[in-house]
Structure 1
Amino acid sequence: MSVIKSISVGNGDMFYIFHGSDNFTIIDCNLINDDKIVRINELKSLAKEKGIVRFISTSPDLDHIRGIKTLDEEIGIANFYVVKNDALKNSDNVDFQKYRELHDSDKAFYISEGVTRKWMNLGDAERGSSGINILWPISDNRTFLTALEKANVGESPNNISPIFRYSLQNGASVIWMGDLETPFMDSIINDISIPATDILIAPHHGRKSGKVSKKFLDEIKPKVIIIGEASCDDIDYYKGYNTITQNSAQDITMECLQGKVHFYSSSTSYTVDFLKNERITNHSLGTYIGTLNL
């Protein structure tokens, strides 16, 4: 069993995976003042239970790294997974400075298509792998290199975001695409192979600017799409697909078991009609909203 949580952090991204193996993965952070302490305490408590704790950074924009300086002070980021870059955006911000410090340190592990690392996707006698595989970027891809050059001179770093996939043996698979923008994704569609994946985290918080095209969706074949937080006018609601929207659901927690995923919401009133009702009550993960059978 593993638990994946999409944390409600306003217009930004933050997730964690509490793996069934001896791994804990944090993906991005957007720690805002209202509940920063609560979020950090939750992460600290979970991280203490695992031998390997990693932070995957998808973007150096502030809505993906806000509070990373405090997070590092509180839990100590020992494994920082990031696409190698020289992005200049937000250079005067303390969290961006921490991002650059971690990026340039010996704590950094630079991710690209097909990389392997012990306990990320290689298990051994000491502990199992986390089940995370990097699908993008392809380091020498011309389209990626152009996006990298733009980020390195201070333009938007959205399109240097990685694509990575988490899969649980005999269980769910989930894919993250950072802040990739629609034209960029369309331009690389013939350069990347994405296996069918149960749950898609919509890029760019579900905004129309990061809408995943039908050709990509036909490859991914998502059973559920998680749409992040943004202005309602900016969101693409992926008509024709099963979706859970964070604006309404708030925290979204996925309890991943063999052959199924139980979904929970921190909102007591959020409902969907496409999940099976297994009548789970009084659960510590939140209000049960249904089960996806794989």
Structure 2
Amino acid sequence: MPVIKSLSVGNGDMFYIAHAGDSFTMIDCNLKTDSSEELIAELKRVARTKGMRRFICTHPDEDHFRGIELLDKALPINNFYCVKNTVEKDDLTDSWLHYKSLRDGDKVFYLEKGVRRRWLNASDESRGSAGVQVLWPNVSNPNFIEAMRKSEAGHSPNNLSCVLRYAVKDGASFMWLGDLETDFMESIADDIELEKTTVVFASHHGRKTGKIPDSWLKKLDPQIIVIGEAPRRDMHYYTGYQTITQNTAGHITLDCSDGKVHVYVSAEGYSRDFLSDEGENKYPGYIGSFEVETEYTL
């Protein structure tokens, strides 16, 4: 069954999905020199049985592709996905130059609302769909066009972030929002199709500036919101929702099985009282499980 992992990489994002089928999806990376070898070794180990590997970069901000040159060398990126852009940077780091070469190269596939792609979300006779849907951007939306204009003029690229949703057949669903900002999310609320989603990874590492607006949360009705590793003074804690905070949980592994999600973390002593103990031991650091809801609870 599928496994989704949110890696603890400091002020940045890094995820992977080990799909039940022949696919392995990486979403963003923030590889720093003190952790890159260990994390890359894990990616190589988990991906070694998968014939189809892809890397999705949610938006062109370095804490979402730092160390991509190291990753590409160790685990070659043959399928690179991003939102089409021509953003430039003054700070020509190795990671930025490598991101740019992938973005503008012949291995790229551009993401936009509703796009279909073998084998991201479309099947054929040789391989099934990975089940990753692209809900945003709508490249003709005026708010997105303005965000692109500002980004290409040197402003923050946060609102160029794509929105991804991955769903397990008859099981849990997951959503990534990149670094979308609250005001921008509110401005596109009527132009994005949202549905109940089991686990939502909070935008902008859990910052208040990326607080998911109520207009979205009512449609998403998440069972768990995972809050990233923003500085605590900058965080929004989503009072009233069940949360896991990566600052204290460390790496978070979500193992999907038979309508349930089993949760593991790397930090010793971390616990959440809304999880039930089902005695799982597939990985170290088991803290509990929960059943996937199929009906809205609001």
Q: TM-score, normalised by structure 1?
A: 0.97
Letter of the 1:83 partner, please give it: V
8 Å Cα contact 1:60-1:89 kept in structure 2: no
In structure 1, give the amino acid aligned to 2:260: K
Contact 1:138 1:144 in 2 (8 A): yes
Q: Which residue number in structure 1 is paired with residue 209 of structure 2?
A: 209
| Aligned position for 1:56 | 56
Aligned residues: 292
Partner residue in 1 for 2:162: 162
RMSD (CA atoms): 1.0
CA–CA separation in structure 2 for the residues paired with 1:273 and 1:76: 41
In structure 2, what is the Cα distance between the partners aligned to 1:128 and 1:258?
20
Moved more, 71-80 or 118-127: 118-127
8 Å Cα contact 1:90-1:96 kept in structure 2: no
The answer to whether structure 1 residue 290 and structure 2 residue 266 are counterparts is no
In structure 2, distance between residues paired with 1:262 and 1:199: 12
Determine what percentage of the aligned residue pairs are the same residue. 49
Matches of 1:111 and 1:66 in 2, distance apart?
20
Map of 1:252 onto structure 2: 252
- Give the 3-state SS of the residue equivalent to 2:34 in structure 1: helix
* Structure 1 residues 131 and 237, CA gap change in structure 2 (3 angstroms): same
| CA apart distance, 1:91 | 4.4
Counterpart-to-counterpart distance in 2, 1:91 and 1:136: 28
Q: Distance in 2 between matches of 1:214 and 1:8?
A: 27
Scaled by the length of structure 2, the TM-score of the pair is 0.96
Q: Please state how far the C-alpha of 1:279 moved relative to its aligned partner.
A: 2.0
Unmatched 5+ residue regions in structure 2?
Answer: 293-298
3-state SS of 1:86 partner: coil
Instruction: Provide the residue aligned with 1:73 in structure 2.
Output: 73
Once residues 9 and 204 of structure 1 are traced to their aligned partners in structure 2, the CA distance between those partners, rounded to angstroms, is 14
1:230 maps to which residue?
230
**Equivalents in 1 of 2:258, 2:279: separation in Å?**
18
Judge which range, 218-227 or 43-52, deviates more: 43-52
1:47 Cα deviation after fit? 2.1
1:81 & 1:100 partners in 2: Cα distance?
12
> In 2, distance between residues paired with 1:280 and 1:257?
11
Please give the per-residue CA displacement for 1:9-64, whole angstroms capped at 9, x wherever unaligned.
01110000000010000000000122110001111122221111000001221111
Q: Which stretches in structure 1 are left out of the alignment for 5+ residues?
A: none
Matched residue SS, 2:216: helix
Q: Separation in 2 of the partners of 1:125 and 1:222?
A: 34
Asked if the contact 1:169/1:258 (under 8 Å) is kept, the reply is no
String of CA shifts for 1:248-284, please: whole Å, max 9, x gaps: 0000000011311000000121000111211224x3x
1:220-275, Cα deviation, whole Å (9 max, x unpaired): 00000000001110111100000000000000000011311000000121000111
Q: Give the letter for the 1:237 counterpart.
A: Y
Aligned residue for 1:215, secondary structure, equals: helix
Work out whether residues 14 and 30 of structure 1, in 8 Å CA contact, stay in contact via their aligned partners in 2.
yes
Structure 1 residues 24-103: aligned runs within 5 Å: 24-89=24-89, 91-103=91-103
Q: Which amino acid aligns with 2:172?
A: A
Partners of 1:62 and 1:90 within 8 A in 2: no
Equivalent residue number for residue 269 of structure 2: 269
